[in-house]
Amino acid sequence: MRALVRAFLLVLLIAFLAGAWQARHPPPPRGARDRAAASFQATAVERTRPTRPPAELVSVRTARRSGYDRVLFTFRGGMPGYRVRYVAAVRDEADRPLALRGGTFLAVAFEPALARAPGGASTFDAHTVTTDYPRLRQVRFAGDFEGRVSFGIGVAGRGGFRVTELTAPNRVAVDVRG
Domains and CATH numbers, the chain: 31-176 (2.60.40.3500)
Indicate the pLDDT class of residue 1, thresholds 50, 70 and 90. confident
Cα gap 13→62, rounded to integer Å: 44
Average pLDDT over residues 111-126: 92
Long-range CB contacts for residues 31-36, cutoff 8 Å, separation at least 24: 31/163, 32/162, 32/163, 32/164, 35/164, 35/165, 36/164
| pLDDT at site 33 | 39
Average pLDDT over residues 108-137: 94
Q: Is the pLDDT of residue 3 over 90?
A: no
Give me the residues paired with residue 136 across strands: 155
Average pLDDT over residues 24-33: 51
| pLDDT at site 34 | 40
Indicate the pLDDT class of residue 160, thresholds 50, 70 and 90. very high
Indicate the pLDDT class of residue 27, thresholds 50, 70 and 90. low
Q: What is the pLDDT of residues 53-74, one digit of tens each?
A: 899 999 999 999 999 999 999 9
Q: How far is CA 127 from CA 24, 59, 130, 151, in A?
A: 33, 11, 10, 12
Q: Is the pLDDT of residue 35 over 50?
A: no
Torsion of CA 38, 40, 41, 47, to 10 degrees: 40
Instruction: Please provide the average confidence, as pLDDT, over all residues in the chain.
Output: 87
Q: Is the pLDDT of residue 18 over 70?
A: no
Indicate the pLDDT class of residue 153, thresholds 50, 70 and 90. very high
| pLDDT at site 108 | 98
Q: Is the pLDDT of residue 19 over 70?
A: no
